[in-house]
C-alpha cells in the first residue's frame, strides 16, 4: 500500500492543528487566510512549499491558495527583505505626503518600490489603505509595527532603529 507523502513539515502541521482546534471556523476553507499567515511566519514568505502545505491542509488546489495570497499585500509572493516597509499611498495618505515619503525611501535606500535592497535588508512597498486614514501618512513594518503621522524626518529616525 502506498504511503501518503505530506508536504507539511511537522512543526507547521502542529500550528495548523492548533488553528483548527480553536473551533472558530465554520468551514474548512474559512481557515485559508489564517493558515497563510501561519505558513508565511514559518517560511518567511509564501514560497512554493508554503503554498503546497496550505493547499494540503485545506484540501484545495495550489492555484486556489496562490490566488488568495497574491490578492493581499500582507502576503509576500517573493522573498522579502528583513524589514518590509509598507507605505500607504491611498487617497488620504497621499494628500498628506505619502508620495514624498515613498520617493525619499527609494532615494535613501537605493531601491525601487516593490523591490528589495541588494543586501536583503529592506523591501519597500506602496500599499492600499492601512486603516488609520485620520493619522496619515501611515507606515507599517513587517505587518506588525504601525507608524502614524509620518514625515521625512520621522522616516529617517525610524530607519535608524532598523538594524
Ligand atoms: S489612506 Fe492611508 S491609512 Fe487609509
Please write the tens of the pLDDT for every residue from 20-77: 999 999 899 999 999 999 999 999 999 999 999 999 999 999 999 999 999 998 899 9
Please write the tens of the pLDDT for every residue from 101-134: 999 999 999 999 999 999 999 999 999 999 999 9
Mutation test residue for ligand 1: of 95, 96, 128, 129, the one with most atoms within 8 Å of CB: 129
Q: How far is CA 56 from CA 3, 35, 44, in A?
A: 15, 11, 19
pLDDT of residue 56: 97
| Ligand 1 first shell, C-beta below 6 A | 88, 90-93, 129-133, 136, 138
Cell numbers at residue 160, please? 535608524
pLDDT of residue 4: 61
Which of 33-37, 79-83, 141-145 is the least confident region? Answer: 141-145
The Cα–Cα gap between 124 and 114 comes to: 6
Q: Helix, strand or coil for residue 43?
A: helix
pTM value is 0.81
Amino acid at each position: 500500500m502506498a504511503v501518503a507523502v505530506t508536504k507539511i513539515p511537522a512543526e507547521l502541521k502542529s500550528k495548523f492543528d492548533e488553528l483548527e482546534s480553536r473551533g472558530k471556523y465554520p468551514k474548512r476553507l474559512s481557515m485559508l487566510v489564517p493558515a497563510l499567515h501561519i505558513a508565511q511566519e514559518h517560511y518567511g514568505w509564501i514560497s512554493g512549499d508554503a503554498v503546497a502545505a496550505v493547499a494540503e491542509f485545506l484540501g484545495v488546489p495550489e492555484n486556489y491558495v496562490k490566488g488568495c495570497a497574491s490578492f493581499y499585500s500582507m502576503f509576500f509572493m517573493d522573498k522579502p527583505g528583513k524589514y518590509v516597509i509598507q507605505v500607504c499611498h491611498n487617497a488620504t495618505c497621499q494628500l498628506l505626503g505619502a508620495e514624498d515619503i515613498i520617493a525619499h525611501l527609494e532615494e535613501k535606500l537605493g531601491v525601487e518600490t516593490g523591490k528589495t535592497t541588494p543586501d536583503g535588508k529592506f523591501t519597500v512597498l506602496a500599499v492600499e489603505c492601512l486603516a488609520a486614514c485620520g493619522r496619515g501618512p501611515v507606515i507599517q513594518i513587517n505587518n506588525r509595527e504601525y507608524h502614524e503621522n509620518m514625515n521625512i524626518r520621522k522616516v529617517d529616525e525610524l530607519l535608524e532603529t532598523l538594524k
